[in-house]
């Protein structure tokens, strides 16, 4: 696994991504979906396991799940677990250090 610096600090991440919003980003050549929920950054694969739509186009619901815009499949951002009948998402670890915010790819 390679740790890639994506932001200088958490406030910069919040400014760039906003709170409770799904965002598609490319990190290390991979499309990922990033969302900040209650001040914590979560990163999962961007592709819905049901039909392949970008989850960055989806919404974050009251339970902290990303909801696919095509068919409403719901995925826990913390674990990647699908709440519908579809495979789970890949999740990526995040660490916050003095010199930045990093994701493990």
- Check which CATH number belongs to the domain holding 41 and give it: 2.102.10.10
Query: Which residue is associated with the tokens 């999962």?
Result: 44
Task: Give 28-52 pLDDT, tens digit per residue.
Answer: 999 999 999 999 999 999 999 999 9
| Structural domains in the chain (count) | 1
In this structure, are residues 86 and 73 in contact, taking their beta carbons and an 8 Å threshold? yes
Residue 70 phi/psi, 5° resolution?
Answer: -80, -60
Q: What percent of the chain has pLDDT over 90?
A: 98
Domain of residue 96, residue span = 3-104
């Amino acid at each position: 696994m390679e740790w890639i610096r994506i932001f200088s600090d958490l406030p910069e991440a919040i400014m760039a991504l906003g709170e409770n919003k799904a965002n598609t980003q490319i990190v290390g050549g991979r499309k990922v979906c990033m969302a900040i929920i209650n001040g914590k950054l979560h990163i999962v694969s961007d592709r819905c396991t049901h039909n392949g739509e970008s989850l960055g186009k989806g919404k974050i619901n009251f339970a902290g799940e990303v909801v696919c815009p095509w068919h409403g499949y719901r995925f826990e951002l913390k674990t990647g677990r699908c709440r519908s009948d579809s495979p789970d998402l890949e999740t990526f670890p995040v660490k916050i250090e003095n010199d930045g915010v990093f994701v493990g790819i």
